[in-house]
Every structure is written in structure tokens, then in C-alpha cells.
Amino acid sequence: MGLELIPISRPAPGSGGLTGTWRTLKPLVDLAKCIDCGICWLYCPEAVIDWEKGKKISIDYAYCKGCGICAHECPVKAIEMAPEET
Amino acid sequence: MRQLASLKTALTGNYAVAYAVKMAKPHVIAAYPITPQTTIVEKLSEFVAKGELRASFVNVESEFSALATVYGASMAGARAFTATSSHGLFYMYEMLWWAAGSRAPIVMAVVTRTVGPPWNIHDEHNDILAIRDSGWAVAMASSVQEAFDLTVQAFRLAEKAYIPVAVGLDGFVLSHTVETLELPPQELVDEFLPPRSPNAPMPLRPGLPLTFGNIPSDDRIHAEHLKRIYWAHQEAKKAIKEIDAEYGKLLGRSYGGLVERRWLEDAKYAVVCMGAWCGDAEAAVESLRREGVPVGLMRLRFIRPFPDEEVAELEAAEKVVVFDRDITPAGGVLGREVASVLGRDKVVDVVAGIAGVDFKASDFKAAFRKALEAEKGVVLI
């Protein structure tokens, strides 16, 4: 007997599917305005924003649901929510 | 057997279970400390408070939480114990299925008592029988000594078969009655029951994140899982016999595995029962035999897994009288289970002693004769 004793799930990226397809508004970042503060990274509920001090941010659109929290929290309004192209 | 001194003493059934748990050295004990709890956990909390038992004793706010706590501990590799009774057991009901479905090797003492209404705290088996289909192994002791022995054996069984085990003992008749028993030396219990392996194949580990009990990606995974619990119970029958035999070799007492047999070799009639009142049934059967009635006794120690093969041995008997200390709208539980093996023509189901009504050896004799007259079906005493 081992771990096969009961059905289990191991964590994996996107185990719930490509949730980026749920998005109706897409966060677009103006990196020229971005002040590299990391607040959007801190607030993103889906952890799809990558940030390393000095390198600014990037968003993983495969899993970003377009909730807009990053745009709301950005202190310099560097993120704009643009309608998703259909 | 090696010569290590056992301690001959006298204890209530509750304290016998508490001593057995102490000697099994569990890591976690959780209990809801108000009615319908018993002195099993009271004594264990005393052992922990005095430093005689190094375990985490978790007082929780309900029986649901008590079982949830030992369930979680068990899934992380701990040896875990809880105890309950009657309505407390029913408050655990949902968690019982989750623990069994997760193959958590918990041991739980169930002091069997009536279920209301009306409010009554006396002995009956309806409470423990109601969990028989949840995936737990369900056993019943017949004496204070066996309550001790069965509790120690239950940890071995649970941890070998990955099935949680409920150890039943009759409310008041065993739980609060002082009987003599032998407490084995700790060294022998340690030898019989080594610590639970730290490599136990349980999923909860720091640094190994995973989920169990989540929605299956395919319903067939769930179906397979349920079938495995059936097979685990079938395999556990062998383990129960082996564990009981090994216990006998090492600690001096064994009971026959899933059932205990008395005078069945030449029996034209067989009595089947479970729990503490089997002592009275045995006295009645012995008395009937002295009167020339060829009758034997089969005491069920386990009802899950159900001893189908052992009950089938009673094919040779002309009539089988099953005594149920429980009642359902369909009759007694054991009567129907035994009839499912032997057929309804051979079995008479006597429902007696329910709601804690006293039932003595002389009552067994009278009911046995009444059952033979009835020939089949249910006899309500």
C-alpha cells in the first residue's frame, strides 16, 4: 500500500483549466509608467503577476481572469483594463 | 511465553479501555468532554496531565470536531484515539464516512447506549450498529478483559488494514462494571504493537502538498475507491484472525478471530449473539445442555467485516436463534445479517434487552424455547 490508498491530487499549474479564457477585460501594463513598487503583485488574487525588484512586472494571461484588482490598486494608474477581443 | 509479570487487578470497562490506549501510546487523543462522554477519556486526560502518557489531548467543542481532529492527526501519520457513545456517535456521522473513506487508521471506543427519544442512557446496540455500513470495522467486547484486549488489537488491525476500528463495549454492563482483568507488562504490548511507522503511507506531509477528498476528475476513480474499501474489509478478515492469534501467543489470550465458538461441534441448535450479554447467553446454553438440549453458541466479535464464512458453519444446525439487543423497523440487525447467510427458514431473530431492559440467563432460556416454537421470523420480547 502506498499513496494509491486513496485518490489524491497533486498541485500543478492550471489544474483547474485555462482560466484566462474567462476574461472579458484584459489588464494592459504601461511599463514606462510602472514604478516597480510590487503592489499589483501583492494584491493579485490568482498569483499570475510575476515581479522581481528592478525588472518590473509581467502577467500570465493564460490564467489571469481579468478581475481588475491590479488596475484598481496601481498607485500610478499604469494598468488599463481593455475589453478582450472576441 | 516469556515470563514477564502481568498485573492482576480490577477495573471498570471504561478504565480498561483507557489503560489499553495508554499502553498503545497514541500521539493524539481528542474528545468532547461532556455527556454522552465516558470516563475513558477522563482517565486518559488524567494520564496525560500526570505525564504518564505523552500524547496531545485535545478538548474539542463537539463529537464532530473530536473525530475530525483524530482524522486529521491520523492522516498525518499519528496514532490517534477518540471515544464516544450514543448521540455523540451520531453527531460524528458525516465524519465517520470521511475517516473510513480516507482509510484513516483511527481507533474509537463506543460505549453502546440507547438512542432517544425518550431520553435514556442504558445499554443497547442500536448506536454502534448504525455505523456498520460506513467503512469502519466494528467489534464488540464481551468482558472488561476483552475490552482491554480488543482495544490493543484494534490499533494493530487499523494500522495494518487502513480501516478505522470501532471497539464497542456495553454501556454500564461493561463500561461502569468492575471486573478482574490482567494488565500485561508494557514491554509485551510494545512488542505486539510497535510505534506507527513514520513512513506510513499517509498523504499529509510538510513539503509534500497535495489534496485528498477533492472532486474526482472522473467518477470512475471514486467508484474504484469505494470497491477498494470492500476488498480491504474482505482482506481484513484474515488480518483479524492473525492478529488475535498473535496476541494469544504473546499475551496469553485469544478469542477465535471474528467469532468465538462454544459447544458448536454437536449442536442441533445454535445461539448467535454479540456483546456483554453473551456471558448470560453462555450460562443459559450451558444450562440447556445439562438438560439434554444439543445447543451451541457463536459470539460475534466483529460485525464489520461480517463473519460470513464463520456463520456459514452453522448450516449444519437445524435452527439458529439470533439474539439482537437492537431493533429496527425491519427487525433485529444481526438476525437479518445472519439470515442473509443461512436463509430465513433456518433463523429465528429474538429482539430483547432493548432500551436497557435487563435480560438474564433465565430470560435467555425462556426466549430460546419461544424461538423454537416460532420456527422463523422475528420474536419481540
**pLDDT tens per residue, range B15-46:** 999 999 999 999 999 999 887 788 999 999 99
Mean pLDDT within B126-137? 97
Choosing from B251, B279, B296, the residue where a domain stops is B251
**Mean pLDDT computed over every residue of chain B:** 95
Q: How many domains does chain A have?
A: 1
Q: CATH number for the domain including A54?
A: 3.30.70.20
**pLDDT tens per residue, range A55-80:** 999 999 999 999 999 999 999 999 99
A15 at interface of B, judged by CB pairs closer than 8 A: no
**pLDDT tens per residue, range A26-37:** 999 999 999 999
Question: Is residue A78, in this structure, part of any structural domain at all?
Answer: yes
Choosing from B216, B251, B286, the residue where a domain stops is B251
The number of helix segments (H) and strand segments (E) in chain A equals: 2, 5
B58/B24 Cα distance (integer angstroms): 18
Question: Are residues B97 and B172 part of one domain?
Answer: yes
Question: Are residues B376 and B345 part of one domain?
Answer: yes
B210 to chain A: which residues are within 8 Å by CB?
Answer: 8-11
CB B163 within 8 A of CB B233: yes
Question: Are residues B230 and B102 part of one domain?
Answer: yes
**pLDDT tens per residue, range B298-330:** 999 999 999 999 999 999 999 999 999 999 999
Choose among B285, B310, B309: nearest CA to B365.
Answer: B285
Choosing from B199, B217, B251, the residue where a domain stops is B251
Question: Is residue A8, in this structure, part of any structural domain at all?
Answer: no
Q: How many domains does chain B have?
A: 2
Question: Are residues B218 and B125 part of one domain?
Answer: yes
**DSSP structural state of residue B39:** H
Question: Is residue B1, in this structure, part of any structural domain at all?
Answer: no
Choose among B99, B121, B157, B114: nearest CA to B302.
Answer: B157
Of the candidates A1, A7, A10, which has its C-beta nearest B221's C-beta?
Answer: A7
Handedness of CA B263, B264, B268, B273 (dihedral sign): positive
Instruction: Please report the pLDDT score of residue B26 as a whole number.
Output: 98
Question: Is residue B330, in this structure, part of any structural domain at all?
Answer: yes
**pLDDT tens per residue, range B152-181:** 999 999 999 999 999 999 999 999 999 999
Instruction: Please report the pLDDT score of residue A2 as a whole number.
Output: 42
Instruction: Please report the pLDDT score of residue B202 as a whole number.
Output: 67
* Reported ipTM: 0.70
Mean pLDDT within A15-27? 90
Q: CATH number for the domain including B337?
A: 3.40.50.920
Question: Is residue A69, in this structure, part of any structural domain at all?
Answer: yes
Domain that residue B213 falls in: 7-251
Instruction: Please report the pLDDT score of residue B86 as a whole number.
Output: 96
Report in angstroms the alpha-carbon separations of B260 from A23, B300, B311: 67, 7, 11
Question: Is residue A12, in this structure, part of any structural domain at all?
Answer: no
User: Is residue A3 predicted with pLDDT exceeding 50?
Assistant: no
Domain that residue A54 falls in: 19-83
Secondary structure string (H, E, C) spanning B233-250: HHHHHHHHHHHHHHHHHH
Contact A7 B225 (CB under 8 A): yes
Mean pLDDT within B113-138? 96
Question: Is residue A37, in this structure, part of any structural domain at all?
Answer: yes
Of the candidates B162, B209, B216, which has its C-beta nearest A7's C-beta?
Answer: B216
Question: Is residue B137, in this structure, part of any structural domain at all?
Answer: yes
Name the phi and psi angles at A8, rounded to 5. Answer: -130, 160
User: Is residue A1 predicted with pLDDT exceeding 50?
Assistant: no
Interface of A with B in 66-85 (CB under 8 A): none
Contact partners, residue B50, CB within 8 Å, separation at least 6: none
